[in-house]
Chains A and B, each alone.
Chain A
């Protein structure tokens, strides 16, 4: 009776979860019951379930405790009860990573794996593979091979999937199971076939050629399993993307034909997978799309919600890339707006928002507002992202959109959701000067009651940058200063920095900002105090250059580069102070997605890891080549590789330029597309331009068919500081050896040959690194008139201001500031602000005043720099 009542109460508390209030230590205590004999299977099963529940809830169990529980659990092998035994298998898998000496169950599992109980065999294999390390693997190899080809499908599948997991760390052993896996591919069972194909792929996945062969082979086979087809489609997709990425080409390939054929497969998942692959391919042509979109369109009106969901989700993802293809489905999308499944409805509406016309926005926004509260955060984020892209497409709609965003900002929601909203508002503010004040006001209101430190610091950073330049900066001070009183240390530190920026930028606010900052001098947190002290001292100096360098424009170095330079500095004791100019500058991260830039402002609070940029990766690679050990720090790597060959030629070569303070390293990435040749000792011979001097070539020892290789050429820059550009004619030189196309085995004898490449240009942009000056005006004043050069040009080939702006940025290789790369609609004049650092560490700033006239664009170009030569070089870049 007593028990009954307690159960009932528990149920009420835990909303029906019987494990609602179990506790780790008592469960582990209970696990000692496993040691008792005879075993009580029901009781033990219940306790073991609790242990599993705890582990799956993320409860941390210490090694000693886990080992004790594990050994107790091994006693349960004496019970024959099938439920208990299968729980034991699960327990072994879960504890294999936390307990010690888990190999103690090896023989017991091997016995079950080869035993008579079919229902034990598969799970025993899975458990066995989870406790086996590379040293033990040999002893179970024979049994694994047998299991892969076992006639019981569940056993075969378990062995295949376990082998796949094992192959992640024991490639060498699993490689020897290829024959068994081949045999399993021809199984009649769709799962076994799929798993076998998966294993074959995993064994070969690092060898692109082998994967290509695998795919080619099985795309001709008639496989039975739709899952296997899906896997093949995915592999084809990846291979096509790699081809496209490496060679910038996509020829009509049998792999694409295969995907297209799958559009006519009898199984829906295969059809979907094929359509999904085609619309996601980077270089899909309109014609190719035309074959895939109707399939998705059809699925949109399917009776099955999963198909509708899959189709609309795919269309939603590609809506921005292929708007025309998606608008073809508008009728279906309109029908989905009222779909009873809210996820489908949300995706439909946001897809329409992305592709629709300006006039439909109000209607769709109303629709979505009606059920915004009913959908999960994940889909709310989809909505917010759609709104964000709308803002850049229809800038005039920002009042409606901003209103919507500010109202949802007040609603309940998790971090990711709030972050998406804040990011969207920030994007709107940055794109739309007119939306700025309204947006900042919403954000001010939000930080008054914001539980997410990351968001609060981000907004404070934004306020510090944008607030001082609004017509009434003083109104933000109150919101900002409130944070000092109410928030945690990280937010207070960000607040102090924001206040300092107001003081540095606005003369009239300086005295009050200093007063406010002085109140922070006794803060309990070190970081807050240090920042306040630093800013108060700097502001009191009343010097423009100090304010610009240390408060408004900050440090612009690559964090990874700074870390490396500091580490290097500490390795060798030296008297000379650390030179910040030697640190590589911050460059854009590898992802080219359009994201809001956010320099690491809130000290230490950034949750995302600092990503190594493309340049950081190049620097790492170059420094490992002995010939380049003494070149100094890498200053700049050119962003996009330049093609030096036509596509579809025998050899494909592309070039990346790496600029050091006195040298340029030309990196040539080559591939050989002839399967009956191996190239050896491959170099690129460069005919130098005036003043340049070729020092060295680092050859690529061997260039077999389809395996890209790299050769480098090192060039010394001219001594004359104004001589920086030139054209190099290039020739690929190598030794050819004929080889057997099947084995790749080359002949012993080869002959020398060469191949003429396109010229390589070195331009001013190669000597300049982009740098963001958040406050351009202040930097402009700071550098001053000393080395100013000014000239006027007629850019007769440019037809629009936008075109002129894009070209100037490209020529100069500099960073547009103050969002001046965006030309407001309908204007006939525009000023572009560019900032950069010249090789050697001198700042260079450019102001280009552009005016549209009948004869093209006229430009007044003004260059300022801390070095006269730099001004001269930059001023001639356009000419």
Chain B
């Protein structure tokens, strides 16, 4: 078995799996998003605040995802970096209604982008401007401006879309982009 997988590596790696890292401030909706992506019978009805992290696996467009859903509470944010090394893509969730903490979110994003395990790698970053259903929420364009995404991310593919994790609205669009980007990157290798 070891021999075969080694062979696959040599023959041009066609990995149908991808590791995702789901980060963002606490209460932004990360766990709810991941839950929404699972088949209906496997979803958990009430989402408790995450302590540390959980791992989830789900399929989307013939790609098998393993998502590390990290806790966004202050105490755990500096532990994100332990999981930077071998992720193939990042999902950064913003609470688009939480204008007050947008600056904190930007700060955390910049920290992550500066990290050596992220900086040198061309990994795709998908932003969800979540909780679009709330009245005080900002549009995805507005969010990307406040976060200065254009300016901060120069050498990585990124995309932002509005979402409502409770209904699943917008998630599909985001994942479409992520899957396509990952597939093309894998093929390019």
Contacts and interface: CB of A to CB of B under 8 A. Distances in A.
B66 A107 contact: no
B27 interface: no
Interface in B43-60: 50-55, 57
A2 B124 CA distance: 44
Interface string A89-106: 000000000000101111
A37 B19 contact: yes
A110 B51 contact: yes
A136 B55 contact: no
B53 A107 contact: yes
B82 interface: yes
B52 A106 contact: yes
A78 interface: yes
Interface residues of B, number: 20
B51 A103 contact: yes
A111 interface: yes
Interface string B85-103: 1100000000000000000
A111 B44 CA distance: 10
B55 A104 contact: no
The residue in A104, A107, A111 that gathers the most chain B C-beta atoms within 10 A of its C-beta is A107
Contact of A108 (B52, B57, B66): B52
Given A101-B79, A107-B71, A37 B17 contact: yes
Interface residues of A, number: 21
A108 B54 CA distance: 5
B85 A35 contact: yes
Contacts of A74: 53, 82
B57 A103 contact: no
Nearest to A80: B57
A37 B53 contact: no
B4 to A, nearest CB: 12
B79 A108 contact: no
Contacts of A40: 2
Nearest to A72: B82
Contacts of B54: 77, 107-108, 111
Contact of A139 (B51, B57, B85): B51
B52 A104 contact: yes
Given A38-B17, A71-B82, A104-B79, A78 B66 contact: yes
A107 B52 contact: yes
A412 interface: no
Interface string B134-154: 000000000000000000000
Contacts of B15: 38
Interface in B1-59: 2, 15, 17, 19, 50-55, 57
Contacts of A106: 51-52
Given A37-B19, A38-B17, A105 B52 contact: yes
Contact of B86 (A35, A101, A111): A35
A786 interface: no
Contact of A77 (B51, B55, B79): B55
A105 B83 CA distance: 13
The residue in A35, A36, A78 that gathers the most chain B C-beta atoms within 10 A of its C-beta is A78
B51 A107 contact: yes
Contacts of B79: 71, 101, 104
Nearest to A112: B54
Nearest to A68: B82
Nearest to A32: B85
A107 B17 contact: no
B44 to A, nearest CB: 9
B55 A78 contact: yes
A51 to B, nearest CB: 17
B76 A108 contact: no
Given A74-B53, A107-B71, A108-B53, A37 B85 contact: no
Contacts of A110: 51
Nearest to A105: B52
Nearest to B87: A37
B13 to A, nearest CB: 11
Interface string A648-673: 00000000000000000000000000
A298 to B, nearest CB: 56
Given A101-B79, A108-B54, 10 more contacts: A37-B17, A37-B86, A71-B79, A104-B76, A104-B82, A106-B52, A107-B52, A108-B55, A136-B51, A139-B51
26 contacts: A35-B86, A36-B86, A37-B17, A37-B19, A37-B66, A37-B86, A38-B17, A40-B2, A74-B82, A75-B86, A77-B55, A78-B55, A78-B57, A78-B68, A104-B53, A105-B52, A106-B51, A106-B52, A107-B51, A107-B53, A107-B54, A107-B71, A108-B53, A108-B54, A111-B54, A139-B51
